[in-house]
């Protein structure tokens, strides 16, 4: 068992984005100090940290500085360099370990692992070279989604293909980024996610199921409770628990899933707090960020009871100006901004959360801002 990290100690966070910032804000409330390793200047997390190490993630000197400053180390994104993560885990308390990162950094390893735990994923086939195309097409059929195994997010490094010709073209483009996976198209009714957290003591808790609406492959809204049957919600939460136990998770895991005819197909995993769990800051007894800090610092996990129906909506670069103009109308809406200076189109700049007696009422509060 990892040790109890006493408040007053320093939590080191690899990655300085909004997830790191919101983790840090929860950790500070609990009395911890924060060190952050992040290459960009004045990052969202650096703005609320005590110690800032501005360097590349794979810079070993910087990793040493982080270890020296920290009593425990966590991360806000999964694409951490293997050598750095291994080195850190030998030198400092790193409760999440490297094994989970290794699995979730690579779509094929991830799908193999999920399947081995008896949980369904879309049919898939590996493509390592152009000659693998025919066999993969034969096995998966069309339409299908071609994805890079490493590094894709928000729909980047992906192509929907309708026939073998389109697949060949997409493969010749994407193979430059390394091995690929071809996935069968899942005609889902909706997309949902469950955030699950497991502590160093092996205690596991899930947050309520979020129904996720995407626009241009970027999360637009999370609606909670998800508008699906209770038994499907229960199934989603039990699948997340199965994965958490099977992966011997410590910390937080986001499980993205498709719902199809009351059945659940797991799409992907993220070993960290997730955009679709932001609603928990206002709507749950314990937020995903506090829960993560509790888990890695050896606290008991908090209750995850949902206090109210809720909708979270992302604020992208192009939404910032209209949203700021709508602030006078936000008496029933909480606006979070991440401190990013440049409001680049599609960049996640913040989010809004609306509570209501029903999800329709919460949606209505957000819609009223758009009519402005």
The whole-angstrom separation of Cα 372 and Cα 357 is 23
The whole-angstrom separation of Cα 272 and Cα 296 is 11
Q: Which helix (H) or strand (E) holds 282?
A: helix 280-283
What track of x and - describes contact with ligand AMP for positions 113 through 132 (by CB under 6 A)? Answer: ---------x----------
Chain positions 234 to 293 lying near ligand AMP, rule: CB under 6 A, are: 256, 267-268
- The burial of 150, by beta-carbon neighbours within 10 Å (0-12 exposed, 13-18 middle, 19 or more buried), is given as middle
CB of 66 to ligand AMP, least distance (A): 29
Chain positions 147 to 206 lying near ligand AMP, rule: CB under 6 A, are: 152, 155, 183, 185-186, 191
DSSP-derived secondary structure letter, 50: S
What track of x and - describes contact with ligand AMP for positions 301 through 330 (by CB under 6 A)? Answer: ------------------------------
Instruction: Tell me which of 139, 162, 214, 307 binds ligand AMP, using CB under 6 A.
Output: 214
Site membership for ligand AMP, residue 356 (CB under 6 A): no
Site membership for ligand AMP, residue 71 (CB under 6 A): no
Q: What is the DSSP string of 125-190?
A: EEESSGGGHHHHHHHH-SSEEEEESSS--TTTTEEEESSHHHHHHHHHHHGGGS-EEEEE----SE
CB of 123 to ligand AMP, least distance (A): 9
CB of 111 to ligand AMP, least distance (A): 11
Question: How many residues line the site for ligand AMP (CB under 6 A)?
Answer: 13
Whether the Cβ atoms of residue 351 and residue 313 lie closer than 8 Å to each other: yes
Kindly report whether the peptide bond that precedes residue 66 is cis, defined as omega within 30 degrees of 0: no
Site membership for ligand AMP, residue 211 (CB under 6 A): no
The whole-angstrom separation of Cα 156 and Cα 357 is 36
Judged by beta carbon, residue 140 or residue 355, the one nearer ligand AMP is 140
Q: Which helix (H) or strand (E) holds 33?
A: strand 33-37
CB of 298 to ligand AMP, least distance (A): 32
Judged by beta carbon, residue 93 or residue 268, the one nearer ligand AMP is 268
Contact residues toward ligand AMP (CB under 6 A) are: 122, 145, 152, 155, 183, 185-186, 191, 214, 217, 256, 267-268
């Amino acid at each position: 068992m990892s040790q109890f990290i006493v408040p007053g100690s320093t939590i080191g966070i690899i990655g300085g984005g909004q997830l790191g910032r919101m983790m840090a804000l929860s950790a500070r409330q609990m009395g911890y100090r924060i060190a952050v390793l992040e290459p960009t200047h004045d990052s969202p997390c650096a703005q609320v940290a005590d110690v800032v190490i501005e360097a590349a993630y794979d810079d070993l000197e910087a990793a040493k500085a982080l270890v020296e400053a920290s009593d425990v180390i966590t991360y806000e994104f999964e694409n951490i360099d293997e050598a750095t993560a291994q080195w850190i885990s030998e030198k400092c308390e790193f409760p999440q370990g490297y094994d989970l990162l290794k699995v979730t950094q690579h779509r094929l390893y991830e799908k193999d692992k999920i399947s081995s735990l008896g949980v369904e994923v879309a049919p898939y086939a590996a493509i390592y070279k152009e000659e693998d195309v025919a066999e993969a097409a034969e096995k998966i059929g069309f339409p299908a989604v071609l994805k890079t195994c490493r590094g894709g997010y928000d729909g980047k490094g992906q192509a929907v293909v309708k026939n073998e010709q389109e697949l060949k073209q997409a493969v010749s483009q994407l193979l430059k980024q390394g091995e690929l996976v071809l996935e069968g198209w899942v005609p889902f009714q909706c997309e949902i996610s469950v955030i699950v957290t497991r502590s160093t003591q092996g205690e596991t808790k899930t947050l309520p199921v979020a129904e996720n609406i995407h626009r241009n492959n970027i999360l637009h809204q999370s609606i909670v409770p998800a508008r699906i049957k209770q038994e499907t919600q229960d199934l989603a939460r039990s699948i997340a628990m199965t994965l958490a136990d099977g992966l011997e998770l410590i910390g937080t895991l986001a499980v993205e899933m498709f719902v199809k005819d009351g059945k659940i197909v797991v799409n992907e995993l993220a070993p960290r707090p997730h955009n679709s769990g932001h609603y928990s800051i206002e709507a749950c007894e314990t937020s995903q960020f506090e829960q993560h800090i509790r888990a890695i610092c050896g606290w008991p996990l908090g209750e995850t009871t949902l206090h109210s129906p809720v909708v979270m909506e992302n604020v992208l670069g192009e939404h910032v100006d209209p949203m700021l103009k709508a602030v006078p109308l936000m008496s029933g809406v909480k606006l979070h901004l991440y401190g990013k200076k440049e409001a680049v189109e599609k960049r996640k700049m913040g989010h809004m959360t609306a509570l209501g007696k029903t999800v329709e009422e919460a949606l209505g509060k957000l819609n009223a801002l758009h009519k402005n």
